[in-house]
Amino acid sequence: MRLQRDGATLDAVRDAVREEFGPAARIVAAERVTTPGIAGLFRKAHVEATVEVPSPDELPTAVVAIADGPVQRAGIAALLADAEAAEARIAAADGTGATRADAFASVLDGFVADGIAPAIAVAPPSAPAVRSLPDQGGSRLQAVTDTLTGGASPLLDTPPVRVRPVPPQVRSADGDLVLLVGRAGDVDAVAGLFATRHALRPTSAADRRAAILARADGVRDGATVLAVAAWDDGATIEALGADQVWLVVDVGRKTEDAEAMLGAVGGRVTVAGVVAIGAAETATPESVHLLGVPVLSLG
């Protein structure tokens, strides 16, 4: 015989059913019902449950009694209890996506704890990225099962993707000083194009006093100043006191040489990134990204 009962919570329904029908009664279905109220206010929630009560002449079968203590709950009881906790967290956090994701994870953990679903190992941070399975005539679900049980699967054979840092904006405030450093020939070749592309005013300043005067002119005229220096001229680099420093690198040269320049300049000032030139003259222009710093390409 099946009856309907309701209460404020699942535990309240369980206690009422046990008191009314005894320990042989069991909850076979339950649903949490929320009345919306007015404009989201005064809303109320309760649990409606379907209770199965054995007849007096019915022979006992495999019946699970309603537990008295805080034993581990499974099946519908666990799902509904977890759903109640999840709804409370969602209401407190105004229904954000992160809270809903936490609630789902909590329910899934309950499945694993109750033996309803297998535990899935989480790959370490260095594990290769997962790609889509190709259609090889078999079931995609079977392929995933093979992976979980140790069977052969091509699921994890793609190397991780290296994320390249995003270059910052070239400084553009009035009176700011941007500095290009590198080999003398490379810097001289690229300074004009760099200044034109980023609306900078070139200056021949090579010491602190000249840099201050160039900055003052920039503030007066509403311009950002561009200076240049050789990568191994540490005295000039430090004296100019630039707001932003870029290292000019010819990508056709050895990466080791560029690393040496970056290390020398970076030991004195903060390097915003690399200005890459000569890409059309080499078959491996992407090697400049091995430096691990943001890259602006000027071709």
HEC assignment per residue over 146-170: HHHCCCCCHHHCECCCCCCCCCCCC
Which among 117, 106, 278, 108 is positioned nearest to 183, based on CA atoms?
Answer: 278
CA-to-CA distance for 171 and 96, rounded, in angstroms?
A: 37
CA-to-CA distance for 33 and 8, rounded, in angstroms?
A: 10
Domains and CATH numbers, the chain: 2-113 (no CATH), 177-297 (3.40.50.300)
Cβ atoms 186, 194 nearer than 8 A: no
What is the residue-averaged pLDDT of the chain? 75
pLDDT digits (tens, 9 = 90+) for 12-40: 888 888 888 888 888 878 787 777 666 55
Walk along the chain (299 residues) and give the pLDDT tens digit of each residue: 788 888 888 888 888 888 888 888 888 787 877 776 665 566 677 778 888 888 777 655 544 444 444 444 555 556 666 666 666 665 555 444 444 445 445 545 555 555 544 555 544 555 444 454 444 444 444 544 455 455 544 444 555 556 788 999 999 999 999 999 999 999 998 999 999 999 999 999 999 999 999 999 999 999 999 999 999 999 999 999 999 999 999 988 888 999 999 999 999 999 999 999 988 888 888 888 899 999 988 87
For the four alpha carbons of 217, 220, 221 and 226, in that order, the dihedral sign comes to positive
Q: What is the pLDDT of residue 64?
A: 43
**Which helix H or strand E contains 247, and what residues bound it?**
strand 244-250
Q: Beta strands of 23-158 (E only): which ranges?
A: 26-35, 44-52
Letter for the amino acid at 103?
A
For the four alpha carbons of 152, 155, 156 and 157, in that order, the dihedral sign comes to positive
Query: What pTM value is reported for the model?
Result: 0.47
Q: What is the pLDDT of residue 132?
A: 47
Q: What is the pLDDT of residue 31?
A: 82
